[in-house]
């Protein structure tokens, strides 16, 4: 087995799961995603003005700028390291685009107060990982929000960056992460981002097209069920991609996800995904177990690819 991209990715996945992104480093210099976020915030504050056509144009320029910057940084790192021992730099930099450990920690932070009947604490914890209103959520509402975030982020934070690293190396991983960050910040359907974030939202849909379906498949395989639910309900989701891992997870735990929520006090109708009652804390435990097995399956698939090559 040569230390090519699959082997590098396997090392990235293992290292990131083991140590994540060190807290002391985050407090000192931030995180590459936060750097991208600061750049987006700076540009958006001065560019997001004028009529709809202009907003779409400058939104496209913003997307091109951050994608070019991210891809160039990835290319430079790969160019400097070459194929020698310095390849360790690629692995360490690549871990910043993965989120296995941090996603698990964020969801555990919701589960712990939920299991202790500390509903205010659970609401506060889940508000850090979802955009919906959380102040009045009950146990089922908190569990639903956490499980949906876990399933969708399995794609956005793990499978998608891994997929693009395999296809295009560190530049591909960095570009995918930059696009995902732009979508999360400005790719909204309401004002003031409806037109300015249009390009970011469509680009994110494109880069996640295959990873979302792979994510759903990994979840279903990890649970040994959920495939039928995924195929039946995935297209009911408002997003062309979000429904695949979420519907797979709904089928995997035998519960119903989706349903009405509110954002900034405004009700939002959402399709139901799956059958059965809404999930509770015990189902969040089950979802985390499936998530961990899904990550392991990804490791095994990447390891098999590395061995075959």
pLDDT band at 1 (very low <50, low <70, confident <90, very high): very low
Q: What are phi and psi of 195, to 5 degrees?
A: -95, -40
**pTM for this entry:** 0.94
- When pLDDT is averaged across residues 87-103 and rounded to a whole number, the result is 94
Q: Is 210 exposed, middle or buried (0-12, 13-18, 19+ CB in 10 A)?
A: middle
- When pLDDT is averaged across residues 1-14 and rounded to a whole number, the result is 88
Checking if the pLDDT of 309 tops 80, the result is no
| Annotated domain spans of the chain | 5-308
- When pLDDT is averaged across residues 285-295 and rounded to a whole number, the result is 98
pLDDT per residue over 37-64, tens digit each? 999 999 888 898 989 899 999 999 999 9
Which of 1-15, 45-59, 74-88, 274-288 has maximum average pLDDT? 274-288
Nearest partner of 93 among 25, 184, 187, 145, judged by Cα: 25
What is the DSSP-derived secondary structure letter of residue 135?
A: T
**H or E stretch covering 271:** none
End-to-end CA distance of the chain: 7
Tokens of 266: 């405004």
| Interatomic CA distance for residues 110 and 126, integer angstroms | 6
What's the confidence (pLDDT) of residue 26?
A: 82
- When pLDDT is averaged across residues 96-100 and rounded to a whole number, the result is 96
| Interatomic CA distance for residues 250 and 246, integer angstroms | 6
Listed range (39-53, 72-86, 152-166, 207-221) with the worst mean pLDDT: 72-86
The string of DSSP letters for 172-228 reads HHHHHHHHHHHHHHH--SSTTTTTTTHHHHHHHHHHTHHHHHHHHHHHHHHHT--HH
pLDDT per residue over 165-218, tens digit each? 999 999 999 999 999 999 999 988 778 888 999 999 999 999 999 999 999 999
268-276 contacts, C-beta under 8 A, 24 or more apart: 268/132, 270/237, 270/238, 271/233, 271/236, 271/237, 271/238, 272/233, 272/236, 273/229, 273/233, 273/234, 273/236, 273/237, 273/243, 273/246, 273/247, 274/229, 274/233, 274/247, 274/250, 275/229, 275/250
Nearest partner of 142 among 165, 164, 169, 121, judged by Cα: 121
What's the confidence (pLDDT) of residue 163?
A: 98
- When pLDDT is averaged across residues 262-291 and rounded to a whole number, the result is 93
What's the confidence (pLDDT) of residue 246?
A: 98
| Residue 262 β-bridge partners | 267
Nearest partner of 274 among 259, 253, 257, judged by Cα: 257
Of the chain, the percentage scoring pLDDT greater than 90 comes to 80
pLDDT per residue over 100-144, tens digit each? 999 999 999 999 999 999 999 999 999 999 988 999 999 999 999
What's the confidence (pLDDT) of residue 119?
A: 96
């Amino acid at each position: 087995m040569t230390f090519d991209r699959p082997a590098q990715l396997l090392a990235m996945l293992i290292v990131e799961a083991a140590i994540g992104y060190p807290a002391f480093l985050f407090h000192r210099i931030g995180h590459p995603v936060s750097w991208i976020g600061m750049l987006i915030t700076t540009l958006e504050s001065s560019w997001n003005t004028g009529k709809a056509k202009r907003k779409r144009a400058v939104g496209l320029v913003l997307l091109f700028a951050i994608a070019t910057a991210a891809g160039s940084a990835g290319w430079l790192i790969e160019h400097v390291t070459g194929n020698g021992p310095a390849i360790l730099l690629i692995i360490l930099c690549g871990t910043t685009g993965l989120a296995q450990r941090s996603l698990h920690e964020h969801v555990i932070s919701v589960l712990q107060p939920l299991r202790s009947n500390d509903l205010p604490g659970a609401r506060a914890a889940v508000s850090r990982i979802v955009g919906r209103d959380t102040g009045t959520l009950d146990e089922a509402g908190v569990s639903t929000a956490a499980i949906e975030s876990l399933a969708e982020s399995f794609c956005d934070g793990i499978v998608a960056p891994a997929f693009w690293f395999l296809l295009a190396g560190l530049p591909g991983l960095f570009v995918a992460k930059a696009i995902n960050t732009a979508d999360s910040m400005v790719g909204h359907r309401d004002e003031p981002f409806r037109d300015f974030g249009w390009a970011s939202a469509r680009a994110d849909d494109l880069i996640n097209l295959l990873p979302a379906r792979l994510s759903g498949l990994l979840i279903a395989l990890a649970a040994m069920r959920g495939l039928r639910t995924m195929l039946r309900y995935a297209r009911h989701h408002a997003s062309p991609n979000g429904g695949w891992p979420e519907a797979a997870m709904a089928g995997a735990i035998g519960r119903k996800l989706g349903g009405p929520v509110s954002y900034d006090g405004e009700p939002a109708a959402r399709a139901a995904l799956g059958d059965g009652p809404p999930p509770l804390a015990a189902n969040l435990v089950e979802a985390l177990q499936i998530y961990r097995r899904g990550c392991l399956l990804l490791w095994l698939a990447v390891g098999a690819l590395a061995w075959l090559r």
